[in-house]
């Protein structure tokens, strides 16, 4: 793949040979939407997927699909896939996740902080406090919990890539989704700040996936969400971009 150049989000991307090396990738919120599509795409390419979600039934279904994907790819890494029930909103749950991942798979090469939620369309003063708290707890605290427990593990190896899922609404405002916008602006700031704390050899980036037809988009756009690309169409581009990230990308705000 060395020397092949692609353009994603306005960025010229050189597909380095390292991307062809099997990686271990941890994806939060793996049971649906972008997380699920990315996990399946990575599995098809022969990479090992570690995923977490609160939906055990969806994890079970994904486990079968991952095994099938790896069988089709004729890869031996299917035995190493690890899907766990974990709630990123809970620091103790993420602490246990980190312990289990270390015991069974070791330190991930890449972490994708994908778990997220959005509020129902509503003006900030009419939004129930519980709904606001859930967005903040999932999107900001959930990401922080993963960083807290996994960065020290990556530091011991002096390498690792972390992708914090952002949004176009983390770089602009929009009516009726103020809590979500606030959470993604926070992800942008958190990423830039943590980037200054990481040692050489590591990187953390904020990644805007673009506008994708997911349940979250449908909650905002209604039937119009169907006009946008499906997660399965997005995943190959996103996987290539993520696999090609290096320490030189530390602190960047990128778009698929």
Compute the distance between CA of residue 157 and CA of residue 202 in angstroms, rounded to an integer: 10
Phi-psi region of 201 (alpha: psi -120 to 50; beta: other; left: phi over 0): left
Q: Is the distance from CB of 164 to CB of 205 less than 8 angstroms?
A: yes
Residues 6+ apart with CB under 8 A from 83: 30, 49, 50, 51, 52, 53, 59, 62, 63, 66
Catalytic residue among 132, 180, 185, 234: 180
Compute the distance between CA of residue 51 and CA of residue 111 in angstroms, rounded to an integer: 10
Q: Assess whether 228 carries a catalytic annotation.
A: no
Compute the distance between CA of residue 112 and CA of residue 24 in angstroms, rounded to an integer: 11
Cα-based torsion angle of the residue sequence 50, 55, 57, 62 in order, rounded to the nearest 10 degrees? -30
Active site residue ranges: 180
């Amino acid at each position: 793949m060395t020397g092949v150049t692609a353009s994603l989000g306005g960025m010229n991307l050189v597909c380095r040979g390292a991307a062809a090396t099997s990686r271990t990738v941890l994806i939060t919120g793996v049971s649906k939407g972008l997380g699920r599509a990315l996990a399946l795409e990575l599995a098809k390419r022969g990479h090992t997927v570690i995923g977490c979600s609160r939906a055990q039934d969806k994890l079970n279904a994904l486990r079968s699909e991952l095994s099938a994907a790896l069988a089709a790819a004729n890869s031996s890494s299917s035995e190493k896939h690890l899907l766990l029930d974990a709630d990123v909103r809970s620091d103790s749950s993420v602490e246990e996740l980190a312990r289990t991942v270390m015991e069974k798979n070791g330190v991930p090469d890449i972490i994708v902080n994908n778990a997220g939620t959005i509020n129902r369309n509503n003006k900030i003063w009419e939004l129930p406090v519980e709904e606001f708290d859930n967005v903040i707890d999932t999107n900001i605290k959930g990401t922080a919990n993963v960083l807290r427990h996994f960065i020290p593990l990556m530091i011991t190896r002096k390498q690792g890539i972390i992708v914090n899922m952002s949004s176009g609404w983390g770089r602009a405002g929009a009516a009726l989704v103020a809590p979500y916008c606030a959470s993604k602006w926070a992800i942008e700031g958190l990423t830039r700040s943590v980037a200054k704390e990481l040692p050489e050899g590591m990187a953390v980036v904020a990644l805007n996936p673009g506008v994708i037809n997911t349940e979250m988009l449908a909650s905002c756009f209604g039937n119009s969400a169907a006009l946008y690309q499906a997660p399965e169409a997005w995943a190959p581009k996103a996987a290539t971009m993520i696999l090609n990230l290096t320490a030189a990308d530390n602190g960047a705000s990128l778009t698929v």
